[in-house]
Amino acid sequence: MTDTKDKRKVGVARALSKLGFCSRSQGSVLAREGRVRVNGTVRRDPEFPTHLESDVIAVDGKRLERLAHIYLMMNKPRGVVTTTSDEKGRETVYAYVDEGLPWVSPVGRLDKASEGLLLLTNDSEWGARIASPESHLEKTYHVQIAAKVNDELLRSMKDGVATSVGLMRVKRAWILREGEKNTWLEIVLDEGKNRQIRRILQSRGLEVLRLVRAAIGPLPLGNLPKGKMRPLSEAEKSALDLAIGMHGGNAQSRVSG
């Protein structure tokens, strides 16, 4: 059964993304460089209306077909950035993606100093739903701070803390374990604002030593080694779909390691 969403036209850059060929921004670059043809005609406008089902789209003379969707999870190391390329020459997550895989994009971001669970996919619609604040998908973090923690701090994090960019709060927070000079917290968010945990703790004068994303919704990081990635199982993908209110789908999907 054809997805009704594919019956409407989309910009050619977005079409390249929906086909799993590249990101939308990369598609815009390809179009402007004159490397994209629609029904045999070069289209330099990234917003040129394109029909995914009936139009013939080619890049560098090669006709594109809809690729099977790929869903991967990665244990991102600290010091790695989640961008396609980096103007400062820093290592990106693509250094850990197998060369034989089709294009995949990180779902949301973990900043350079953060580590842990990161999803990657060529299913742009699914990735957008996972990352969207409107999905209220919980994300769980384990955070080490250079201080002892009291109940007042935990309560204030849930009630809301004034930061340099406004009021921020967490959904839940509790102590995992304590040392003589530091504490590990488990913190759950369902908003996903930029550097949210770091901003909250820094506003209270607390230094973040480590920040590890331990789970996205029902999907735990588990024992995946640092710097490694693996495909999601069908059960894991289905659990995430249920968590964001997506049920089934027409696009063929596959897992690839």
Half-sphere CA count of 5, side-chain side, radius 13 A: 6
The token pair at 175 is 């102590």
Residue 188: other Cβ atoms inside 10 A: 16
Q: Which residue carries 């289905």 as its tokens?
A: 238
The beta-strand segments (E) located in the chain are: 10-11, 36-38, 41-42, 49-50, 57-59, 62-63, 69-76, 105-106, 115-121, 139-145, 161-163, 166-168, 172-178, 183-189, 208-216, 219-220, 229-231, 253-254
Please state, in angstroms and as integers, the Cα–Cα distance from residue 133 to each residue in 129, 140, 193, 231, following that order.
8, 15, 8, 24
Return the amino acid letter for 57: I
Residues 72 and 38: beta-carbon distance below 8 Å: no
Cα gap 71→219, rounded to integer Å: 13
Residues 211 and 189: beta-carbon distance below 8 Å: no
Q: Of the residues 3, 111, 151, 159, which is catalytic? A: 111
Greatest alpha-carbon pair distance for the chain in Å reads 69
Say whether 159 is catalytic. Answer: no
The catalytic site residues sit at 111
